[in-house]
Amino acid sequence: MLNLADNFMQLRQLATLRLSAASALVCQGQNLWVLADDALVLQRYKLNGDWQAELALLPGELPTDAKQRKRSKPDFEALLSLPGDCLLALGSGSTERRCRGCLVEADTVRVIDLSPLYQALAGHFQDLNIEGSVIYRGQLLLAQRGNGRGRENALVLLDLAQVLRDLQDGQLSTAALQRIAPLQLPELDGVPLSLTDLSVAPGGALYFTASAEATDSSYLDGACVGSVLGRLDAQLAIVELSRLTPVVKIEGLAFQADGRPLLVADADDPTIASPLFTLDRFSESA
């Protein structure tokens, strides 16, 4: 396992976003799309974090009471760009209410039933918690966050062609499931790391973020002791790992066309707006 003792990368804040629980982000041209795990909307910014617009993913409003809101939210945790400049937002699957996705084409939103696939995954993991997604080498990868029972971090590999066919039918099916690759992550200050997002840099390298959160629940939040940025090789083995400073819970990662990374954090506090970060000294590895 890689040693984190001497590997640090400094986050630099670019902007403060208009949502408090940013969970995923995607760059499309000059647009930055940001998702939140306790909201019903998808927000669009410029790459520097300047606000542009908002798109409703689901109708209605969430309760203002914190406990009721947590029970009711769709828990959108993953966002990816699909062919044709479409976007797919995915619920975490950590409860039955969180098994919906939203396919965005232009300004049209279509609700996707994730239950067929998620029910199969729930039979494999003690606590299903999908937190990231990306297209990599012709497959769609999902990040299973191991912050629940069993600490099961893993990558779920789906056949992209089958996923695209499934989406036309308004669902994700078990037919797309190819294999599950467990991922062993170290601890950070004695707290286990768990996956929070995936992204592919312009040169094709696969990166992930993970945070160390003092909780054994995929539902309840805990104190965060830090986050890391890592790189996986083509065999999905960890080959680079760097601790990020200052201490924040990084939830989302995306790359601009020039290779500069963008990251978002979640303070697990509805009164604190999510920051947008970059890493000035980042360079993509071969």
Per-residue pLDDT of the chain (286 residues; tens, 9 = 90+): 566 656 899 999 999 999 999 999 999 999 999 999 889 999 999 999 999 999 999 998 876 877 888 787 899 999 999 999 999 999 999 999 999 999 999 889 999 999 999 999 999 999 999 999 999 999 999 999 998 677 899 999 999 999 999 999 999 999 999 999 999 999 999 999 999 999 999 999 999 999 998 766 545 567 899 999 999 999 999 999 999 999 999 999 999 999 999 999 998 888 899 999 999 989 998 5
> What pLDDT is attached to residue 268?
82
Q: Please answer whether residues 252 and 264 qualify as being in contact, where contact means their C-beta atoms are separated by less than 8 angstroms.
A: yes
Nearest-5° Cα angle at 247, 32 to 73? 55
Residue 126 to residue 182: CA distance in whole angstroms? 13
Sheet of strand 250-255: strand arrangement? 12-16, 275-278, 261-265, 250-255
> What pLDDT is attached to residue 218?
47
Q: Please answer whether residues 27 and 48 qualify as being in contact, where contact means their C-beta atoms are separated by less than 8 angstroms.
A: no
Strand partners, 241: 230
Q: Which CATH superfamily is domain 8-278 in?
A: Apyrase (2.120.10.100)
Lookup: tokens for 286: 């071969």
> What pLDDT is attached to residue 67?
83
pTM score? 0.95
The 8 Å CB, 24+ separation contacts for 243-248 are 243/4, 243/7, 243/8, 243/9, 243/188, 244/8, 244/9, 244/10, 244/11, 244/279, 245/8, 245/9, 245/10, 245/11, 246/11, 248/11, 248/224, 248/275, 248/277
Q: What are the residue boundaries of the structural domains of the chain, listed by start?
A: 8-278
The phi and psi torsions of 85 (rounded to 5 degrees) equal 60, 30
Residue 239 backbone class (left: φ over 0; alpha: ψ -120 to 50; beta: rest): alpha
Output the furthest CA–CA distance in the chain (Å, rounded). 49
Q: Where are the beta strands (DSSP E) in 17-85?
A: 22-28, 31-36, 41-46, 51-56, 76-82
